[in-house]
Amino acid sequence: MNRSSVRIFRTLNFLLAILVVALDRWSKLAVVHNIPLYTMRPVIRGFFKLTHTENPGAAFSLFADSTGPWASRALVAFSIIALTVVASLLWKQTRLFSQTAIAFSLILGGALGNLWDRVAHGRVVDFLLFYVGKYEWPVFNLADSCIVIGAGLLALSILTQKPGTES
């Protein structure tokens, strides 16, 4: 594969990450401007609501109860390290939208979207609430979804990859 193709593939893979950030920003701003904080709007009764919450912790409210400033700084530092690793792994991808490249692009975009909130506001806007009866999944956002989907694709890619091939 020639350098020009690799450059184009890299650009398109990184553009997917930028698209994730843009959609994440748009969705969070729509929620902030249209749903008052801690208000819920039913979408599918008995299963899904839109809500406006703010999470000072990590994904799925991990460390949300930590009151010290160390928690936020640690999450920002961890995010920057993870972003550096994922961006470098994405850079090494030489195929356009391979399963692995898509996984890294989704993870990178999601991590950047949440880091944006954390650096700008010290917390992340979450708004997707799935539930059945009294059982609720922790509230999350589009960036969290992309990170989880990307991690799942990456795991699937690793588990199904044949020796000596790149997915």
The string of pLDDT tens digits covering residues 22-36 is 999 999 999 999 999
What does the alpha-carbon distance between residue 15 and residue 144 come to, in Å, rounded to a whole number?
A: 18
pTM > 0.75: yes or no: yes
What does the alpha-carbon distance between residue 115 and residue 80 come to, in Å, rounded to a whole number?
A: 8
What is the residue extent of each domain of the chain? Answer: 3-160
Cβ-based neighbours of 88, under 8 Å, separated by 6 or more: none
The string of pLDDT tens digits covering residues 106-147 is 999 999 999 999 999 989 999 999 999 999 999 999 999 999
Q: pLDDT at position 67, please?
A: 55
The phi and psi torsions of 165 (rounded to 5 degrees) equal: -120, 160
Amino acid identity, residue 113?
A: G
Q: Which positions are catalytic?
A: 126, 144
Please report which helix (H) or strand (E) contains residue 11, including its range.
helix 3-34
**Residue listed under structure tokens 């893979």:** 13
Q: pLDDT at position 24, please?
A: 98
The string of pLDDT tens digits covering residues 62-113 is 555 555 666 667 778 888 999 999 999 999 987 777 999 999 999 999 999 9
